[in-house]
Structure 1
Amino acid sequence: MFAVLPFARKVLTRLIALFALVWVAACEPVGMGGMAGGSGQSIDPGAPVAVALLVPHGSSESGEAALARDIEAAAKMAVADLSGVQIDLRVYGTAGQPGQAQQAALNAVSDGAKIIIGPLHAESANAVALAVAPSNVNVLAFSNNPTIAGGNLFVLGQTFENTADRLVRYAAREGKDRIVTVYSNNLAGQLGQQAIAKAAANAGAQIVGEVGYDFSQDGVVDAVPRVTETANSTSAEAIFLTANSAGALPLFAQMLPENGLSPEMTQYIGLARWDTPAQTLELPGVQGGWFALPDRGKAQRFKARFAQRTGNEPHPIAGLGYDGIAAVGALIKTGKRDALSRSGLTQSAGFQGVDGVFRLRPDGTNQRGLAVGTVRDGRVVILDPAPQGFGGAGF
């Protein structure tokens, strides 16, 4: 049985380093962010508006220095792209620590910041939102963890709920509405499982089985026959995997087909991106599978501009720095003194970001326009394009 593992282990080793920070924002939840306020600071739209950017400069964690650099560079790109709007961008280092992030936020408010973009980690974002709530300052954090959202704290990162909703609705339209969820028994896996269950209820699909597994090689190996048995006994039409390329996906993608669960007969769906890094496209089980991804044209244009400006490709979540500034800039341009209030931030029309359209929800989470893609012969093919606005297909 273990003869199938060396290839998967090899691919997994190549991917771990690249994905180590992608889900760094999905830290352990600390509680609901901020307080019940969030009405926001009043601004003078005709004068420069002070905006604080909190990034993990000074962090001891490997890779966070580069991430902080890229987020800052993306935010400055956005400021340069604004027309008819003046933003006084002020950058504060957090060292990736809640205490330092909180103090940086208090310093920013003392310096006159009308809104805060960042920080990165969920625990830090929660601490920042709580600290500045009495000053009526809203926070747009880079986290993708919905459990901290609310009050004056909004999360910019793409959430599991957003992705699951897009994919389950597409699956239901395509007649693949009997779903088995496969998830790891850790925070990320459990949040993913809950998101899929909620999406199924909203789309009229049915979760016919759920298989949890320990987040280890032995846990995956033990889960494979249980997944196959559950799929066969429930007449499942789709297997929805929460695993990503830095985790269990390489093993599942090889072992499930070899255990008799053919992707040609049962639709594989992934909660994570299956197109980055490129080595993921080599995995046998992802061929024909479905996953969600942003508008590829817009994403590629941002990457090209960023590389031309900085000399390096952006970190996968660096674009959130651009999105935060783009949203703030669009609101200031309306000329309203309460542009950065909760009602302004949650306008239904949303904003245009580096990956396409997005909007902030009253509960502090976000909704992003995503495409549905598949893998054919190691290449990505778009099955359903990302929506260009809200209210149409794809939402």
Structure 2
Amino acid sequence: MMRAILPTRALVPIAGLWRVTACMAGAALFLSACGATTGGPGVTPGPASPVVGAPPEPAVLGVEMSPERLAFTPPHLEGMDLVRVGVLLPFSGASAALRSEAGHLLRAAELALFERGIENVVLLPKDTEGTARGAEAAAEAAIADGADMIIGPLLAAEVRAVSGPARRSNIPVISFSTDTSVAGGGVYLLSFPPEEEVRRVVSYTAALGADRFAIVAPATPYGQLVSQAYRSAAAEFGGTVTAEEVYSGGVDSMSQAARRLARAGIGSLEVGRALAMTGEDWRPTDSGAFQVVMLPAGGDDLRMLAPSMLFADIDPLLVKFVGTGLWRNPDSAREPALANGWFAGPDAEMRARFETAYEIAFSEQPSRLAGLGYDAASLAVVMAASEGGIDRAVIEDPNGFLGVDGLFRLRADGTVERGLALYTIRRGQFEVLDPAPVRFGPDSMAVDVEPGES
């Protein structure tokens, strides 16, 4: 049976969440006063009385190496059979964006524990500093504190550095990188890999009869990754990529790439037929060298790239414009050239419950990646409640889990498979064209996830 890792019960008063964070800060003060040689504090439900005021910032102590595992235990949890989870994030990373993301991920992990009233799972936050060296030191510190599992890090170089100490100690790592080269051997990527988004949109268009695909990608590592995934997906579903173009600059480079793509051969429509079409009723035709064009860009780049296709006479009534999750931006929805375009992304309805709970708890909106912290901590809770404890067999459950962003499962090779929805842009809004699946196969028995009530 598939495991639902979102809570189905009503949310409890917010004062309780402040107790969680206050307990975390109190544990930090206790360790500092005692001159502890281990890393950061655990996060557990705190004392019975509420704390008045806004929750403090997460307290993360400096790391001093210890030659033995000291199994950090908060004083009020002495005697309990605890599951300790290292949370390795760039709290003091070089960029403000990294530091902010680390805070969102940690707070979401705290929320996961709080919503369940869990007492036997202790979070051990450690600062990776946003570097490979800092990540390795943070991993060693978490292991010394008795970590049974590691959540994070965020960057591929950090994950690579953490994997050695974790594997030597047989501790699974649920990281947030999208770089598949760091996955495997007990290191898992709980993220939003573009390969999954590409496969979803190719599979849908192929099911409608498309078998000739084109792509115009940026000359970046992301563009190269999407191009490779696009070729693989097209081959998997019986098609081929017949034209590929790359741009390496602004609108001039994009326009040149679009014109080169058009020279591959594009079909045409009779005026009467074109006037009768809306763009919502697209089906692949036999004319032209390609029926679908992938535009893996976002933001201002996408708003320049899409019109370049039109100026090169690539007609969206004939050729379906598709993209990746980078399309999910309000500005993209307002771009006329993208009207009726398709892209894949997580289930927005399932995420809405998490966003509401997070905003109530912390008086701010969660980052796009914050739900990953929630799901990772929820996995720890699922395993803590099972007889086997932290177990890779549970992590790799082929039935998967229902999380903040919908259905997902972690494969034995460490990569993630997600059940994504297919979206279209209509009248300046994102609409679901094909819903996200709630199970990976007919034999899976999904557990319905009811939204919590505040």
Q: TM-score range by the shorter chain?
A: 0.7 to 0.9
Match of 2:321 in 1: 268
For 1:378, which of 387, 406, 428 is the aligned residue? Answer: 428
CA apart distance, 1:232: 1.7
Runs (5+) with no aligned partner, structure 2? 1-79, 268-287, 444-454
1:84–1:333 contact (8 Å) kept in structure 2? no
The TM-score, its normalising length taken from structure 1, stands at: 0.83
> Aligned pair 1:232/2:266, yes or no?
yes
Paired residue type of 2:356: A
2:255–2:312 contact (8 Å) kept in structure 1? no
- Give me the whole-angstrom Cα distance separating, in 2, the residues matched to 1:249 and 1:324: 32
- Give me the whole-angstrom Cα distance separating, in 2, the residues matched to 1:85 and 1:157: 27
Superposed counterparts of 1:1-395, under 5 Å: 47-82=81-116, 86-230=120-264, 232=266, 234-245=288-299, 248-276=301-329, 278-337=330-389, 339-341=390-392, 343-391=393-441
Paired residue type of 2:325: A
CA apart distance, 1:259: 2.2
1:332–1:340 contact (8 Å) kept in structure 2? no
- Give me the whole-angstrom Cα distance separating, in 2, the residues matched to 1:251 and 1:231: 22
- Give me the whole-angstrom Cα distance separating, in 2, the residues matched to 1:101 and 1:216: 36
- Give me the whole-angstrom Cα distance separating, in 2, the residues matched to 1:126 and 1:285: 41
| Count of matched residue pairs | 344
CA apart distance, 1:215: 4.5
Question: What's the CA shift string for 1:138-168, capped at 9, x where partnerless?
Answer: 1111111112212221111111221111111
Counterpart of 2:326 in 1: which secondary structure? coil
Paired residue type of 1:366: V
Identity of aligned residues (%): 31
CA apart distance, 1:365: 0.6
CA apart distance, 1:197: 1.1
Runs (5+) with no aligned partner, structure 1? 1-45
Larger CA Rg, structure 1 vs 2: 2
Counterpart of 2:87 in 1: which secondary structure? strand
Paired residue type of 1:186: T
2:94–2:129 contact (8 Å) kept in structure 1? yes
1:115–1:340 contact (8 Å) kept in structure 2? no
Counterpart of 1:273 in 2: which secondary structure? helix
1:116–1:140 contact (8 Å) kept in structure 2? yes
1:328–1:340 contact (8 Å) kept in structure 2? no
Counterpart of 2:181 in 1: which secondary structure? helix
Paired residue type of 2:147: A
Flag the 1:240–1:231 CA change in 2: closer, same or farther, 3 A.
Answer: farther
Question: What's the CA shift string for 1:227-247, capped at 9, x where partnerless?
Answer: 22235285311101222226x
CA apart distance, 1:217: 4.2
CA apart distance, 1:332: 2.6
Cα RMSD over matched residues?
A: 1.9
CA apart distance, 1:84: 6.5
The TM-score, its normalising length taken from structure 2, stands at: 0.72
Deviates more, 1:265-274 or 1:115-124: 265-274
1:347–1:360 contact (8 Å) kept in structure 2? yes
Counterpart of 1:63 in 2: which secondary structure? helix
Question: What's the CA shift string for 1:297-348, capped at 9, x where partnerless?
Answer: 11112111111111111111111101111122223322214x422x221110
- Give me the whole-angstrom Cα distance separating, in 2, the residues matched to 1:96 and 1:192: 25
- Give me the whole-angstrom Cα distance separating, in 2, the residues matched to 1:243 and 1:76: 33
Question: What's the CA shift string for 1:37-94, capped at 9, x where partnerless?
Answer: xxxxxxxxx8220001111101121222221111111001111233677311111111
Counterpart of 1:230 in 2: which secondary structure? coil
Counterpart of 1:96 in 2: which secondary structure? coil
Flag the 1:392–1:186 CA change in 2: closer, same or farther, 3 A.
Answer: farther
- Give me the whole-angstrom Cα distance separating, in 2, the residues matched to 1:385 and 1:83: 32
Question: What's the CA shift string for 1:249-269, capped at 9, x where partnerless?
Answer: 121112211221121221001
